[in-house]
Amino acid sequence: MKPPTFKPKPGWTSVDPFWQMKTSGCYLSRDGSDRKLKIRYYAEEGKDCFHALVWFGPDSEGPPGHAHGGAVAAVLDEALGAAAWARGLIVMTAKLTVKFRRAVPLGLLAVVDAHVRRAGGSRVLVSGSLTDGRGRTFAEAEGIFLKVPRSSWKLFQLDDATP
């Protein structure tokens, strides 16, 4: 089983929400494995929506023939955080709530849609869903993320460039 070619929908532009990171340490999006999962991020022109295309490979297996719930949760965690990072909000997860609706088949090229709902003070609220892109929802998530103060960016090995 090999990952498919990622073909974004019309109006989607490929983005690297973690461009500030000096290391290649993104848990999922920079994994480099062709067997676990692949994830690519996209912004939608003219809309405040953030997307990801995700492929669940054989090394993400939990129940036979399906992705492990932890892999699904990790995808949603990174994608929701990426939606904030793409808006220049450097955050880390404080709380993630995932509702699993149905098992994710291995080999599925899924779509994550994420929206920053609120970004006030030190907290950012982001919600999103993982679907097959044709109306079937596999999981929904809501995350509360904490803004990382600029004074702490060096601890996170971030470039000091302004997004």
Answer whether 128's CB lies under 8 Å from 111's CB: no
Question: In 3-state terms, what secondary structure has residue 143?
Answer: strand
Cα diameter, the chain: 46
Structure tokens of 130? 């993982």
Q: Is 113 a catalytic residue?
A: no
Answer whether 142's CB lies under 8 Å from 125's CB: yes
Task: Name the catalytic one among 16, 31, 48, 77.
Answer: 77
Query: What b/e sequence results for 84-115 when a residue is b if at least 16 CB atoms lie within 10 Å of its CB, and e otherwise?
Result: bbbbebbbeeeebebeeeebbebebbbbbbbe
Nearest residue to 65 (alpha-carbon basis) of 105, 100, 103: 105
Structure tokens of 22? 């000096």
Answer whether 75's CB lies under 8 Å from 139's CB: no
Residues forming the active site = 77
